[in-house]
Every structure is written in structure tokens, then in C-alpha cells.
Structure 1
Amino acid sequence: MSAPVMEMRLVEDVMAAGASLALPDDGVHSVCYVVHGEITADGTVRRDDEAVYLAGGAEVQAGRSGATVWRYEVAPAGVAAVCLDAASGVTREKLRQPLAWPVADAILIRADSVSFPPGGCAFLHTHQGPGIRCLIDGGIRIDALGHSASYGPGAAWFEAGPDAVFAQAATDRPSRFIRVMVLPAALHGRSSIAYVNAEDREKPKSQVYKGYVDRIIEP
């Protein structure tokens, strides 16, 4: 049997007060990160800088002041992202990327944030799986595959995992991005980063991590 064609995508839902979004049971795995406001999902309330993993026909409902949500999804390529209707708010696609699938025989979805002080960096490194990042504060430059790209708040980018990456944060303010990755399940509770240069492995690291989701799923 051939492997399914899968993709990762990131959409932004700007939800009106009390608006709801029904996520169908169609093989999509979602991580909803609350940028601003409040949502109720999976029987719990999530507020600013909190996230929840959802699958299997879940519903997301905005609180009385509405919410802005970054919805990271791992989905079959033929399944379109659900969008809010005009009365409930606006859904905007930020990024969509095909995946080399399967990542591993058993996989997990991890959501976390990576923060840097002014001038901080992540030394040349790789990861064991693909992921989408979206900058929420500051600025950052990403060097990979011989190219450099700079990002400001709200901008998203994809990293395949095995490609070596160097990250340089803005020098004049703190920076932080929200990241969702697909990783081998054997990494549950463990870091996925590997430094390319031996001399960097023992150096003090400037980045700080905050975890939201580390969930083993059915591939």
C-alpha cells in the first residue's frame, strides 16, 4: 500500500465573540494556539499563549471577547482547511507545505515556543522531523540551504528537519516563535535538536523553550 499524501499547514482564525468552528472527523490533526482572547475546546478553556491538540470532530468556540487562533494542521493533502463563515470571523492561510510521509512508524505532534534574548541565536542544527514556525514577537533571520530569510511578527516558515539551519534573532528586542513539529514518537519528552558542529554542543544556549503539546498520534 502506498503512503498517504500529507501536508502541514497554518491558518489564522480571527473569531468573533461567541463564534464557533467545527473541525470534522476527516483525518486532520490540529493544534490551536491562542494568540489573543479565549477559546473553549476539548472541554477546556485556553487563553493567551496556551494551546490544545484536537482531532476527531472537535469544536472550537471563542469567548465573549473573541479570539485570534493560529491553527497548525497535519492533514491529508486533499482535505481542505475548515474556514469561518463571514458572520463568525475570518480565516487566512499563512503557509502550506507537502510532507515526506511517513515521518516514522510511530509519530508525535509537538507544539512549543522558542524565545531568544536580543541578539540570541540557535547554532547550526537539525531536527528529526518537519515543522512550521510562526514569529509572534521580535524579528529573526533563518539561514538554510544557502539562503537567508528574515521574518517579522506574524510571518511563518517551514523547516524540513534534516536540513541544517542557523537562526539569528533581532539585536534590539526579544524574539519568540511558535512551532509545531511532527517527530518520531521515540522523542516523546525529549529534545529533537542536534547541533551540526561539535564545538557548539557544549556552548551555553540562548534560546528558551516552553512546551504546550507533546502528543503521540496514529500516523
Structure 2
Amino acid sequence: MNYELRLYLDQLTAKSASIELNSTYARAIYIVEGSIAIKNGVSTRLTLSQNSALSIPESFSLGGGSADAIMLRWELVNEVDNSNKIQASQSTLLLAAKMALGDLSQYIIRCDRVDFPPEGEALTHRHLGGGIRCLLFGSIQIHTLGNIHTHQPLSAWFEAGPDAVYAATDKTLASAFARVMILPRGLIGGKTSIEYVNSEDKNKPKSQRYQIFIDELIQH
């Protein structure tokens, strides 16, 4: 079946009114800055703050927390679904990518953050599944399929998985991106999704560091 992985940038003012989001196949939200308030069901309430994430595919209410917030929201949907489009003044669709997936119970959703020091790099590699990345700070150059794309903060890009990618980050500043990937269920438990194209690179020191927030089976 054809699905889309979509990434939205949501901006909420402090104590803003609640927004209702419908259920979807899989969803991850990551707080870039500030805080948000979530109500899920009759009595479950929680607050998320900067550099935290949550998987919440079911329907829920989202509102501003104690400070203005910038949030990244990934949703795996049927490619014709437009039910979770928030008011244009609060939400921007950064990127949508089609994904041909089989039985969703055979996949996981993983949300993580990848940090690089100045002059960091990710040696030429592939992944075992596709996903959308969004730069948080610094800058990054993505070399793939004979092209080079430079990304600045809150710029998003899709990596399909099988295509070889080399990445180089800012020469003077630390850089980081947040991402969500849809991966085979056998990788649950934080197992790496990366495969290095050149065998000699596998054991070389790596400059990137990972922080996994979500690593869950898709329940549909």
C-alpha cells in the first residue's frame, strides 16, 4: 500500500488553545524549543519540553505550554489523508515523501537525534528504511545520487534508505538533526539501521552521536 510520511512544523504560543489531532498510523512529535501540553483521553495530561519526543498515533489535544513552542510532527498516513492539517498560521508542511510499505505490523517507528561536532561527517552509508530528517542547528551538506544539497536550521530532507549518502557538517559550528525513520521490526531495541558502503569505513571512528527517543512497533 502507498503511504506518505509527512513532517509538519508547528508553532504554538504559550497557553494557546487546544488543537485536536485525529489518529493516524504512526506519529512522532519532537520539541525543538519551548513546551507543549498534551491531553490524551479524559484525564491523561502531560507536558513536553525542549529536546523531548513522544509517539502518539491516537487522537489527542495539543496546546501551548508555559512558553512559546516550536514542534516537529511526523505522521505516517494514507497518501490521500488530509485530516490532520492544522490552521496555516500555526502549522507548515515541511516535507511529504511517499513510502511503499507492506503490513505495517512488520515495521517500527524510530525518532532520534544525531549530533555532530564542527567538521563532522557521516561516511558513505545506506539505511534499512526511509525517513525524513530536519536540521536543528548548524548546517549540513547531503551528497547523494550525484547531487549535493545544503540544509540550514528547520530545513528538511528525505532519505529513501537504499541510496548511498555522504554527509558533511558545518566547519566551525556543531550541528544536529532530528529524524523519524520507518524501519523493519527486527531493528527494535535500538539496533542500528546503518550500513556502510565501503567495508573499510565500518570500523573507523565516527563523529556522529545518537540519542534515541522513540523505538516502537507500529500497531496497525
Normalising to structure 1: TM-score of the pair?
0.92
Counterpart-to-counterpart distance in 2, 1:208 and 1:10:
23
The equivalent residue for 1:170 is: 170
Counterpart-to-counterpart distance in 2, 1:84 and 1:16:
14
Matched residue type, 1:107:
Y
CA offsets per residue over residues 168-193 of structure 1, 9 Å max, x none? 11111101000100001110121100
Counterpart-to-counterpart distance in 2, 1:40 and 1:129:
31
CA offsets per residue over residues 61-114 of structure 1, 9 Å max, x none? 22132321111111111111523347xx51111101111222876110000011
Q: Choose which of 20, 23, 27 in structure 2 pairs with 1:22.
A: 20
Q: In structure 1, the residue corresponding to 2:68 is in which secondary structure?
A: strand
Q: In structure 2, the residue corresponding to 1:186 is in which secondary structure?
A: helix
Contact 2:142 2:165 in 1 (8 A): yes
Contact 1:103 1:183 in 2 (8 A): no
Normalising to structure 2: TM-score of the pair?
0.91
Contact 1:105 1:184 in 2 (8 A): no
Counterpart-to-counterpart distance in 2, 1:40 and 1:8:
24
* Consecutive unaligned residues in structure 1, runs of 5 or more: none
Cα deviation for residue 39 of structure 1 reads 1.4
CA offsets per residue over residues 127-146 of structure 1, 9 Å max, x none? 00000000011000001111
Counterpart-to-counterpart distance in 2, 1:40 and 1:105:
29
Q: In structure 2, the residue corresponding to 1:153 is in which secondary structure?
A: coil
Q: Structure 1 residue 38 and structure 2 residue 35: aligned?
A: yes
Aligned residues: 213
Counterpart-to-counterpart distance in 1, 2:104 and 2:47:
32
Identity of aligned residues (%): 37
The equivalent residue for 1:147 is: 147
Counterpart-to-counterpart distance in 1, 2:132 and 2:194:
15
Matched residue type, 1:218:
Q
Contact 2:126 2:164 in 1 (8 A): yes
Runs ≥4 residues deviating over 2 A: 16-19, 40-44, 81-86, 102-105
Higher alpha-carbon deviation: 179-188 or 59-68: 59-68
* Consecutive unaligned residues in structure 2, runs of 5 or more: none
Cα RMSD over matched residues?
A: 1.6
CA offsets per residue over residues 10-63 of structure 1, 9 Å max, x none? 1111112223221113x3421111111111235322100111111121222221
Matched residue type, 1:124:
T
Counterpart-to-counterpart distance in 2, 1:32 and 1:79:
18
